[in-house]
Amino acid sequence: MAENHKKAAGRLCYLCNQRRAALKRPKTLEQICRECFYEVFEEEIHQVIVKNQLFKPGERIAIGASGGKDSTVLAYVLSELNRRHNYGLDLFLLSVDEGITGYRDDSLETVKRNEIQYGLPLKIVSYKDLYGWTMDEIVKMIGLKNNCTFCGVFRRQALDRGAALLKVDKLVTGHNADDIAETVLLNILRGDIARLSRCTSITTGEDGPIPRCKPFKYTYEKEIVMYAYFKRLDYFSTECIYSPNAYRGFAREFIKDLERMRFTILFILPYQHH
Ligand SMILES: Nc1ncnc2c1ncn2[C@@H]1O[C@H](COP(=O)(O)OP(=O)(O)OP(=O)(O)O)[C@@H](O)[C@H]1O
C-alpha cells in the first residue's frame, strides 16, 4: 500500500489531470487521484449491476456481512449506489455467528457498528440457535480436520435460513475476482467439471430457496483493500483461527506468482464461461 502510494505521489492524475495522483491502480496500472479512484471503482460495480440485471426495483436484498473487508466495502458501496442511482432496493445486513471465540465475536462487533454507520438493519443467525452447536464445540469434538467443510455447509444453510427470516429476494456476497480465480483453479485441479462451470456465474441458486449474486466478480481484492483503506471503513481483518486452509492458500500463492510473472490470470479466470 505505502509503496503504491509513494510511486504515484508527485504526478498528476492520469484521469482528471488536475489533482495529484495518490495511487497506482492495480487493475489498469494508471496513476490516479483518490477521487477518481472512488469514482471508477464505484462506477465499474454499478455497470456490473446494470449489465447483469442483478436487481429489480423494490427488491429486498440481504448482504452477507462477515465484518471483513469485502463484505464491508460491499455494504458501503451498495448503499451508496442504491441512493445515487435510485435502485429502489431495501438493503439488510445478514450475519452468521458460527460461534468462534476470538474471531467471530469480534468481527460481529464490527458489523454492529456498520449497522449504525450505514443505517442498514442487521439480522444475526447463529449455529448455536439453528443447530445446537457452536464451531468451538464442534472443533473440540472433531479437531481441526474437515472442520472447514462442516462450517461451509452450515454457513450456506444458515444464510438461507436468515434470508428466509428477512424475507429477502436475493443474497449478495463479497466474493471478488481473486476468490473466483482461486475457485476456478481449485476446481480444475480437483477435476470438478460441474462446479467449474457454476463457479464463475455472477448469479447462482436461481432454482434454490434464494438466489445469490456476486457484484464484486470483476473487482480485484487489492482495489477493495485500497478503497477500504482510503475511505477509512471500519472492518475486521483477522483470519479465522480454525482455517489454515492449505489447499486454497496454495491456489492463492500460485495465482500471485503467475501475476508477478505478468500473466493476467486474475483478469481472465472470472470471465470463464460454460
Ligand atoms: N459469517 C458470515 N456471515 C455472513 N456472511 C458471510 C459470513 N462469512 C462469509 N460471508 C459472506 O461470504 C463472502 C466470502 O466469504 P469468505 O469467508 O471467503 O471471506 P472473505 O473473502 O475474507 O470476505 P470478507 O472480507 O467479507 O470476510 C463474504 O464476503 C460474505 O459476503
Residue 99 annotated as binding site: no
Question: Which residue has its alpha carbon closest to ligand 1 atom 17?
Answer: 66
Q: Tell me how far the alpha carbon of residue 64 lies from the centroid of ligand 1, in angstroms.
A: 7
pLDDT value at position 268?
A: 64
Q: Tell me how far the alpha carbon of residue 2 lies from the centroid of ligand 1, in angstroms.
A: 26
Domain ranges of the chain: 33-271
pLDDT value at position 230?
A: 96
Q: Which of 219, 191, 244 is nearest to 77 (CA)?
A: 219
Please state, in angstroms and as integers, the Cα–Cα distance from residue 254 to each residue in 147, 185, 234, 249, following that order.
Answer: 24, 9, 30, 9
Close Cβ partners of 177 (under 8 Å, ≥ 6 residues apart)? 216, 217, 218, 219, 220, 221, 266, 267, 269, 270
Residue 164 annotated as binding site: no
Indicate whether residue 162 lines ligand 1 (CB < 6 A). no
CATH superfamily placement of domain 33-271? HUPs (3.40.50.620)
Contact 49/59 with Cβ under 8 angstroms?
A: no
pLDDT tens track of the chain, all 274 residues?
Answer: 555 555 555 799 999 999 999 999 988 999 999 999 999 999 999 999 999 999 999 999 999 999 999 999 999 999 999 999 999 999 999 999 999 999 999 999 999 999 999 999 999 999 999 999 999 999 999 888 888 888 999 999 999 999 999 999 999 999 999 999 999 988 988 899 998 888 899 999 988 889 999 999 999 999 999 999 999 999 999 888 887 665 677 888 888 888 777 666 666 666 655 4
Residue 66 annotated as binding site: yes
Q: Tell me how far the alpha carbon of residue 215 lies from the centroid of ligand 1, in angstroms.
A: 13
Indicate whether residue 97 lines ligand 1 (CB < 6 A). no
Indicate whether residue 178 lines ligand 1 (CB < 6 A). no
Q: Tell me how far the alpha carbon of residue 106 lies from the centroid of ligand 1, in angstroms.
A: 14
Contact 85/70 with Cβ under 8 angstroms?
A: no
Indicate whether residue 99 lines ligand 1 (CB < 6 A). no
Q: Which of 223, 225, 220, 216 is nearest to 178 (CA)?
A: 220
How many Å apart are CA 1 and CA 226, to the nearest integer? 7
Close Cβ partners of 243 (under 8 Å, ≥ 6 residues apart)? 147, 148
Identity of the amino acid at 250: F
